[in-house]
Amino acid sequence: MSIVTRFASYFIKSRVINYSLQVDRIMTEMCKAGFQDPEEGFLERDPMTYYECRFYSHIARNWTPRLESFEVSQYELAKQKFVQFENLYSFILDLHRLTWEYRSLYLELTKEIATHNTWFRSEYTTLTYEHHLEEAINKYINLLDQLKEYPLWQERVKEEIGYYLHLIYNSTTHSSQSKELFAKFDKLYFFK
């Protein structure tokens, strides 16, 4: 084994094993962050730990260094922690995208209501907008169904993502067509 591969192997295993001790703390911080900007807390306080965690999770997933017999269990445990981190990261990133999708739908609706000139006209027609809104409501309902086993996450989704659907509901005219769209949406949740 050459000196470069030996160094790479020692570097990878030492950093992955040692850094896996911080993964639980980083995942806790990720869970506390809002869906609109989940990386904000890390960027304000300590961006290096967050991005190092993402980097070492990639390293642990793709490379297996040469391990001594006593390091195998530690490295596998570290690898499992990084897999949990990646799963949580992708879940929160999906919630982030969903939040911005619903926020964009709300902004599109308010742009149509507030601006009457042709320069800032809405990109959607009413039919297209209603189709996007119906898809968004169905996604929201499906997400809440998937999170039934996790009531704390379900509450956060209702508060942070459902908030924009509630704003859309309050901004639309309450015609029979909009009532049909929002029939499955829990409108009373926000009046508790």
Q: Are residues 98 and 184 in the same domain?
A: yes
Q: Are residues 34 and 77 in the same domain?
A: yes
Closest CA to 20 of 65, 48, 66, 52: 52
Taking the model in full, what pTM does it have?
A: 0.77
The tens place of each residue's pLDDT in the chain, 192 residues long, gives 577 677 677 777 777 888 888 888 888 888 888 888 777 767 777 777 778 888 888 888 887 777 778 778 888 888 889 899 999 989 988 999 999 888 888 887 776 554 444 444 445 556 677 788 888 888 988 999 999 999 999 999 988 888 888 888 887 766 667 777 777 777 667 666
Q: Are residues 33 and 67 in the same domain?
A: yes
Domain count, the chain: 2
Q: Are residues 102 and 77 in the same domain?
A: no
Boundary-marking domain end, from 27, 62, 91? 91
Give the pLDDT of residue 118. Answer: 45
Q: Are residues 57 and 105 in the same domain?
A: no
- The pair of structure tokens assigned to 63 is 């490379």
Q: Are residues 83 and 13 in the same domain?
A: yes
Q: If you ran DSSP here, which 8-state letter would residue 185 be given? A: S
Residue whose token pair is 């300590």: 46
- The pair of structure tokens assigned to 88 is 């949580």
Distance CA 105, CA 140 (A): 13
Q: Are residues 67 and 113 in the same domain?
A: no
Q: Are residues 19 and 75 in the same domain?
A: yes
Distance CA 14, CA 11 (A): 5
Q: By the 8 A CB rule, do 99 and 161 touch?
A: yes
Q: Are residues 84 and 98 in the same domain?
A: no
Structural domain including 104 reads: 94-191
Give the pLDDT of residue 145. Answer: 92
Q: Are residues 81 and 151 in the same domain?
A: no
Give the pLDDT of residue 78. Answer: 86
Boundary-marking domain end, from 58, 91, 124? 91
- Torsion sign (Cα): 35, 36, 38, 42: negative
Give the pLDDT of residue 117. Answer: 46
Give the pLDDT of residue 171. Answer: 79
Q: Are residues 33 and 75 in the same domain?
A: yes
Q: Are residues 85 and 174 in the same domain?
A: no
Closest CA to 29 of 89, 96, 77: 89
